[in-house]
Each structure stands twice: as C-alpha cells, then as structure tokens.
C-alpha cells in the first residue's frame, strides 16, 4: 500500500510503498477512504509524543470500509462503512468498565501508538468496542472530521463544559477543533465569542454562529476583550483553549467569570515545559479547570443524530481535500500556518 512515512522527527515525510497491515484477533483493517490532517499529527511529526517509534505513518482521523476482520471480532464484517474515535479503548480496564473509554488505561491510538491512517489501509484495535457505523448519507470526508476534532469538541462543550442556552462561551483558537466548538456551542443556544489571529478563521466562526469575534493580533489582552464583550456577565461562563499554547491557556482561564469553567482541549507542546496557569484567579473565583480527551464510541449516537438532523454541519468544516501525495507538504505547513477548517486527505485519489 501507499503511505506517508517519516523516518526522523521534524524532517520531510515521503509517500512510499509499504507492507499493508493485518488484523489482530480483536481488530480490523480498514480501507481508508478519507483521513483528516490534524495539528496533533504535526505534534507527532515534531517528536512531541513519546509513543511514536520511527519509522512512522501518522494519521488518526479516518473513515472507510472494513477490509478484513480478526477471528474474535463479532460485530463487524468486510464492507461495513465505519469511523472510529482516535482513542481506541481496550473495553475491559476499570476506566472502560466505568464507560470512560476516552481515558482507557490500555488505549491505543492510530498514528501514535502504531501506524496510522495517512495510508490506504490502517489497523484498528478492539473493533467491537471502538468502531462506529456510518449513516449512509454521511460522506467519508465529513465522517473523517468527526474522529478527533469534532467529537472532541462535542464532548468538551456538551459533556465536560456542560454548556447551557444563553451562556457566554469563549473559544480560543479557531482551527478545526475550535470551529467545531463554535458550531456546537452556538447550536446549543450559547452566545459564542471566537478568538483567533486569522481573519479567515474568524469569518468562518461568524458563519458557524459566533456572536462576536476577537482578533488576537489587534488587542493587547484577549481575556480582557472577552470579558468586555460579555458585559454584565463579567466574563465567559465556559471557555476553551482549542489551540494549545501557554498564552491561549492563560487567556482562556483569565476570560472566565466567577465560577466559570475552563476546558483544555489543545495539546500543549512538551518543549515548553510547564505551562503557567493563573491559579490565583482559579482560587479566588472558584473556577473549574478540566481537560477533555476525545469521546468514546458509545457516545457517538447523540452527536450523529444531530448531524443527521442538520442541527450540526461538520461538512461545512471541510475546507480542503487533497491527495496522499500532497500530505507531506501540508503536514509540514501546519507548523507555520495552522490554517482554519479541516483538510481531508483521500489516499486513493
């Protein structure tokens, strides 16, 4: 099969022919019809993830067709249209027994713990626990955007953030996950303030329901700008760092009202060391500081029903579709120009 491979961290990846995977007894091999290009893939390419062993194939947002099944798989068969969360749970550890598959103690992640979906085929573990059936009307490109950014944003806003209609929600960073969060919060009836340095990203945020936008390149204090926009609320009820940097993390916390809720979604680069968080404000205002790490497969039906009903439109987030040969350059470009929306790779085009 053809796949994107890098042999050294931070050095150019190439597209080459490699051996296709085979399924484990509890796993499957999926023919990849579409896979998203995510900033987490860039972090992995840069060497920020300790699980990656070289040479490596990135990619963790995917949709496709079951090609082969392991001997212990009972719920799936070749030809099934599927997607999968980027966290593949074991299904048997204490966290999984509690329903918290997204923090499975023995989790695997395509594109991190093993070769991923920037390829024509990918192996996935524990298929009966992790695969999600795709509605016939959902395209592979749209489904690929669900596995990491959209599903992560959905759980961050709805489950972890407990968004409520009428609340002020601030979203710091309007790439794929941030724009997903804007759309989901607005669809939930919240008043959303989008924060980014890119005019294009802010235009998309407005299109997806943002009430107000803050150009972070034009103000000296984005947190103060968010607080001012909320007027009498005194700040956001819920704020998300959807980018992942010390600056956006601190700004998210500082933009909150009393007893507000901060959700950390964006990965913080390991080379920055510790990330300063304004804990004095967290104590004085009794803030909640929570992480959000994907979403379990069993939680997908609620999200998929809203997509099917047209309440949520993840298809609008797909702003670019590229062939596999263009993926190495697009991956490298994320370091200097993260962009907005979701880029989808079609490995067979």
Which residue matches tokens 């798989």? 73
Q: Please say if the pLDDT value at position 272 is more than 60.
A: no
Q: Which of 290, 289, 284, 247 is nearest to 269 (CA)?
A: 247
Q: What tokens appear for 78 in the block?
A: 């070749």
pLDDT at residue 187, as a whole number = 97
Q: What is the pTM of this model?
A: 0.93
Q: Are 193 and 229 in contact (CB under 8 A)?
A: yes
Rounded to whole angstroms, the Cα distance separating 27 from 1 reads 19
**How far does Cα 216 stand from its chain's mean position?**
22
| Topology of the domain comprising 2-149+295-346 | Quinone Oxidoreductase; Chain A, domain 1 (3.90.180)
Q: Which of 3, 12, 20 is nearest to 45 (CA)?
A: 12
Chain segment 226-262, per-residue pLDDT in tens: 999 999 889 999 999 999 999 999 999 999 999 999 9
pLDDT at residue 342, as a whole number = 87
pLDDT at residue 338, as a whole number = 57
CATH 3.40.50.720 applies to domain 162-291? yes
Percent of the chain at pLDDT > 70 equals 97
Alpha helix ranges (H) inside the chain: 39-46, 94-97, 127-130, 140-144, 151-154, 176-187, 199-207, 222-229, 246-254, 279-284, 300-308, 327-333
Chain segment 181-232, per-residue pLDDT in tens: 999 999 999 999 999 999 999 999 999 999 999 999 999 999 999 999 999 8
Q: Nearest 5°: phi and psi at 4?
A: -85, 125
Q: How confident is the model at residue 40 (pLDDT cuts 50, 70, 90)?
A: confident
The domain limits of the chain are 2-149+295-346, 162-291
Q: How confident is the model at residue 48 (pLDDT cuts 50, 70, 90)?
A: confident
Q: Please say if the pLDDT value at position 29 is more than 70.
A: yes
User: What is the mean pLDDT of the segment spanning 111-136?
Assistant: 97
Q: What residues does 194 pair with on adjacent strands?
A: 171, 213
Rounded to whole angstroms, the Cα distance separating 140 from 340 reads 20
């Amino acid at each position: 099969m053809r796949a994107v491979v890098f042999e050294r961290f931070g050095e150019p990846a190439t597209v080459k022919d490699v051996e296709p995977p085979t399924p484990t007894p509890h796993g499957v091999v999926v023919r990849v019809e579409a896979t998203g290009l995510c900033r987490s893939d860039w972090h992995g390419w840069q060497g920020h993830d300790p699980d990656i062993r070289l040479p490596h194939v990135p990619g963790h947002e995917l949709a496709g067709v079951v090609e082969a099944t392991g001997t212990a798989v009972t719920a799936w068969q070749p030809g099934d249209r599927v997607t999968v969360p980027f966290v593949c749970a074991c299904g048997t550890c204490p966290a999984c027994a509690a329903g918290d598959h997204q923090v499975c103690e023995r989790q695997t992640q395509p594109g991190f713990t093993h070769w991923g979906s920037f390829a024509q085929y990918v192996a996935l573990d524990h298929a009966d626990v992790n695969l999600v059936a795709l509605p016939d009307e959902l395209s592979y490109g749209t489904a690929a955007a669900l596995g990491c950014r959209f599903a992560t944003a959905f759980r961050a806003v709805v489950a972890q953030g407990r968004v409520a209609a009428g609340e002020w929600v601030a979203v710091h960073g309007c790439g794929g996950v941030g724009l997903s969060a804007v759309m989901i919060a607005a669809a939930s009836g919240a008043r959303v303030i989008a924060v980014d340095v890119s005019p294009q990203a802010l235009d998309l945020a407005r299109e997806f329901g943002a009430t107000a936008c803050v150009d972070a390149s034009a103000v000296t204090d984005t947190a103060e700008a968010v607080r001012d926009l909320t007027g009498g609320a005194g700040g956001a009820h819920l704020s998300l760092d959807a980018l992942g940097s010390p600056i956006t993390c601190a700004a998210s916390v500082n933009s909150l009202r009393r007893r507000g809720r901060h959700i950390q979604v964006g990965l913080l680069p390991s080379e920055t060391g510790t990330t300063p968080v304004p804990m004095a404000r967290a104590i004085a205002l009794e803030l909640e500081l929570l992480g959000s790490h994907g979403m379990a497969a069993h939680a997908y039906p609620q999200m998929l029903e809203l997509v099917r009903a047209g309440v949520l439109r993840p298809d609008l987030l797909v702003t670019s579709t590229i062939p596999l040969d263009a993926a190495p350059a697009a991956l490298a470009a994320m370091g200097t120009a993260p962009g907005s929306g979701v880029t989808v790779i079609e490995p067979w085009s």
